Structure 1
Amino acid sequence: MKIVIAIDSFKGCASSKELSSAIKKGIIKIYEKAEIIICPIADGGEGTLEAFGFIKSARLISAKCTNPLGIKITANYLLLDNKTAVIEMASASGLDLISKENQDPFLTTSFGTGELIKDAINKGYKKFIIALGGSATNDAGIGMLLALGYKFYDALNKEVRLTKDISKIISVDSSFCLKELNECEFLLACDVNNPLTGANGASYIYALQKGAKKSDLKILDESLKHFAYVAQKNTLKKYDEIPGAGSAGGLGFAFLCFLNAKIKPGIEIILKEVDFEHKILNADVVITGEGKIDEQSCMGKVIDGIGKICKMKGLSCIAFTGNSSNSDEKVHAKGITSVFSILNEPLSLQEAMNKENTLNNIEKISEQIFRLIYELNKPTKSENK
């Protein structure tokens, strides 16, 4: 039996690799000789580097940069043989890098992400895949642009460098930018469809989880609207309403408007880069999953991407989750054969999110599912005659 495991991380709980290993343990208790291929997967958010890290040519690079609050840290990115650098913005500018009490979208910056890009450019790399999920920022990408040499000025011709002063920006100067930027190609791996501003924009949808108060949302949104106006005036490009422009606190907008980036669902990019369709050739079962499966899972997430391919190839696909809402019908329509919650008893949220509990539960349910598959495929007495 050939089984391909391509499961997303359970955010804040367990990585794709950890979950895959636990699932494999459960399966081999029943199918000792099964061919099991582990293919860590992500949708452009947390776990993207891990997914790309399974490409044979991937080389992990460590670089000095600043975290969202300007503190010096070391972050990782990947270099691939095809002269592509893979950067997960969360590794330099992610929410997990700062404590909850220090989260403040008026202060946090994407500067560190720009520093990682600059480091890769200095190594001769000009093609980039940028994963946009998990940001701590709401700075419309000005931090990243500052790191690459852009300068922003207010009405008094003073340079603006702080996120809280975005609304003061009236002009943009690109004359100090890295000259190599003109030769660079940026592909954005995005897991959301939000525009830059408005009710569904970066501020109103995501800023609360980045430390904003409800009373801050209008101020943050107006700042981004102002910057979009200035950017359009300086570049003659209007990208604020493009789906994904509001990703990573508006970082998507900065890439689109100033760096001529292209944007795609992260799952599509990753499935192509890891050669997923080749990995599932002659597979009997594909296993996938996300920490929470709901209607959003059917909109450019891992479940959506894996399900579509399995449906096209006529493959059975099992999905594991820690939390499944009433969206099974839509998930099945995407190509997922069956959805299983890994929780087998009432647990508090803290207990359910415990890594040890999660890995034990997913191992147990994997064993039980494949025990059933084994029994259903066992030759009957009449077939043995």
Structure 2
Amino acid sequence: MRFLFVSDSFRGSLSSAETAEYLARAAREVFGEDVISEGIPVADGGEGTLDAVWHAAGGNFIEMTVTGAAGYPVTARYLGLDRKRAVIEMAEASGLARLPREFRNPLYTSSTGTGELIKDALKRGFSDITVALGGSATNDGGMGALTALGVVFRDMQGRKLAGRGTDLAQVRDIDVSGQDPRLRDVRIRVMTDVRNPLTGPGGATMVFGAQKGGTPEMLEELENGMCNYRERIIAATGRDPDDLPGAGAAGGLGAALGVLAGGRLVSGIDTVLDLIDFEERLAGADLVITGEGCTDRQSCCGKVMQAVGERARKSGVPAVGLSGSLGAGGLEIMDHGIASVMTAVAAPMTLETALARAPELYYSAALRMFRFLRTGMAMGRKI
């Protein structure tokens, strides 16, 4: 019996690697020491992507000091998979989790540090650069990152703008003539798990701005600025970023890299699965177990469970889910290769209690799931 464990992290409680450890322990308890299992930490392009790819595919971390989201220096890493391929995680340099609560103000945060990571990868000669968006503290339209790469944004008086959220409304000219020429010779993939446009009710500001510290007044100012920024991008390139699904990811960095820097926006989880050669790992597996904190309708929109389930089905390997909870539309995941879903929460409790007891609840649910599987196997032998 060979199991493959491929779960997303349970935000605020369990990492992807921890879910694999609990599943392996539960499988041994139910099936004995002869069971073979492999855990593959994964992420969908947001926080944790760097470590997930490193755990699965190896490589070397490159560490450097960059400009943090609030303007002060921070130490950030990116991953060199081999001589050609590098993986950069925006959250390392410009992430919300790295920013103390008192500095969370999307009017003044900037993605400059992420651009500095990309510039360093270019300098080192990487020709295939993947940038994982998600977990950002910024709403600057990616201006900070592009400024670090040589793009110049000017206001009505011709003055250079720093590239913060408050600068969006001031942009009158975008000069890409000084953009790092090495960008033309590299492949840039931009990983995102969202398809939000840059502006509008479903755009970067109105959907994600509040969680980055934006008040209603700030969001109105930022949205007006983002609409101006969109018009300036159209004037500079002839392309409307709102036509690009995912342009609103990471406070608009998706638009900056996808329209102005020549990057290609791709599914986060599909790219991760490609980087770790997931199909090869599926070979010989009897069952795949995946999961996430809450399985709901959004799980079918480019998330871990959907991608894992569809690839497992294509390879003829059954897949089941073990998630923290089940939300509205969660059972739709069964249309994507997931045979069934079990939840860790087994009784009414507050979210705070569930998070605090996550290891205990998850392990107990894993034991129940494997006992069900063992029972089904015993029934199958009698048919």
Shift, 1:313, TM fit: 2.8
Which position in structure 2 is the counterpart of 1:341? 343
Which position in structure 1 is the counterpart of 2:358? 358
Which position in structure 2 is the counterpart of 1:255? 257
Shift, 1:377, TM fit: 2.4
Q: Distance in 1 between matches of 2:145 and 2:95?
A: 13
171 and 363 in structure 1: CA distance in 2 versus 1, 3 angstrom threshold? same
Q: Distance in 2 between matches of 1:375 and 1:201?
A: 48
Q: Deviations over 1:207-235 (max 9, x none)?
A: 11111112332321121111111122122
Is 1:166 paired with 2:187?
A: no
Which position in structure 2 is the counterpart of 1:121? 122
Q: What pairs up with 1:100-179 in 2 under 5 angstroms?
A: 100-161=101-162, 162-179=164-181
Which position in structure 2 is the counterpart of 1:95? 96
381 and 173 in structure 1: CA distance in 2 versus 1, 3 angstrom threshold? closer
2:57 and 2:275 in contact (8 A); partners too: no
Q: Distance in 2 between matches of 1:382 and 1:3?
A: 23
Q: Distance in 1 between matches of 2:364 and 2:301?
A: 29
Q: Distance in 2 between matches of 1:231 and 1:313?
A: 43
Shift, 1:14, TM fit: 1.9
Q: Deviations over 1:85-124 (max 9, x none)?
A: 1011011111111123321110111011011111211211
RMSD after superposition: 1.9
Q: Deviations over 1:24-51 (max 9, x none)?
A: 1111112221110111111111221122
Shift, 1:126, TM fit: 2.5
Q: Distance in 2 between matches of 1:352 and 1:44?
A: 25
Q: Distance in 2 between matches of 1:243 and 1:299?
A: 12
379 and 333 in structure 1: CA distance in 2 versus 1, 3 angstrom threshold? closer
338 and 82 in structure 1: CA distance in 2 versus 1, 3 angstrom threshold? farther
Of the candidates 315, 318, 324, which is equivalent to residue 316 of structure 1? 318
255 and 382 in structure 1: CA distance in 2 versus 1, 3 angstrom threshold? closer
Gaps of 5+ in 1: none
1:9 and 1:46 in contact (8 A); partners too: no
Q: Distance in 2 between matches of 1:382 and 1:187?
A: 51
Q: Distance in 2 between matches of 1:380 and 1:318?
A: 18
Of the candidates 174, 193, 196, which is equivalent to residue 194 of structure 1? 196
Q: Deviations over 1:325-382 (max 9, x none)?
A: 132431111111111111233332222223xx21222222212221232233248998
Q: What pairs up with 1:7-26 in 2 under 5 angstroms?
A: 7-26=7-26
Q: Secondary structure at the match of 1:343?
A: coil
Q: Secondary structure at the match of 2:200?
A: coil
Q: What pairs up with 1:253-332 in 2 under 5 angstroms?
A: 253-332=255-334
1:298 and 1:334 in contact (8 A); partners too: yes
Shift, 1:205, TM fit: 0.8
Q: TM-score, normalised on structure 1?
A: 0.94
Instruction: Give the counterpart letter for 2:234 in structure 1.
Output: Q
Q: Secondary structure at the match of 1:107?
A: coil
Q: Secondary structure at the match of 1:290?
A: coil
109 and 380 in structure 1: CA distance in 2 versus 1, 3 angstrom threshold? closer
341 and 381 in structure 1: CA distance in 2 versus 1, 3 angstrom threshold? closer
343 and 194 in structure 1: CA distance in 2 versus 1, 3 angstrom threshold? same
Q: Secondary structure at the match of 1:53?
A: helix
1:57 and 1:81 in contact (8 A); partners too: no
Which position in structure 2 is the counterpart of 1:3? 3
Shift, 1:264, TM fit: 1.2
Q: Deviations over 1:262-287 (max 9, x none)?
A: 11111111111111111111211101
1:84 and 1:127 in contact (8 A); partners too: yes
Q: Distance in 2 between matches of 1:289 and 1:62?
A: 31
29 and 235 in structure 1: CA distance in 2 versus 1, 3 angstrom threshold? same
Q: Distance in 2 between matches of 1:368 and 1:218?
A: 49
Q: TM-score, normalised on structure 2?
A: 0.94
Q: Distance in 2 between matches of 1:379 and 1:134?
A: 45
Q: Secondary structure at the match of 2:55?
A: coil
Q: Secondary structure at the match of 2:348?
A: coil
Q: Secondary structure at the match of 1:353?
A: helix
Q: Secondary structure at the match of 1:130?
A: strand
Which position in structure 2 is the counterpart of 1:47? 48
Shift, 1:190, TM fit: 0.9
2:57 and 2:276 in contact (8 A); partners too: no
82 and 286 in structure 1: CA distance in 2 versus 1, 3 angstrom threshold? farther
114 and 381 in structure 1: CA distance in 2 versus 1, 3 angstrom threshold? closer
Structure 1 stretch 39-48 or stretch 51-60: which is displaced more? 51-60
Instruction: Give the counterpart letter for 1:12 in structure 2.
Output: G
Q: Distance in 1 between matches of 2:382 and 2:53?
A: 48
1:190 and 1:265 in contact (8 A); partners too: yes
Which position in structure 2 is the counterpart of 1:60? 61
Q: Deviations over 1:43-91 (max 9, x none)?
A: 1112211221134442112111122101211111111125111011011
1:11 and 1:46 in contact (8 A); partners too: no
Is 1:367 paired with 2:373?
A: no
Q: Deviations over 1:149-199 (max 9, x none)?
A: 221111111111143122111112234332322222210111001010011
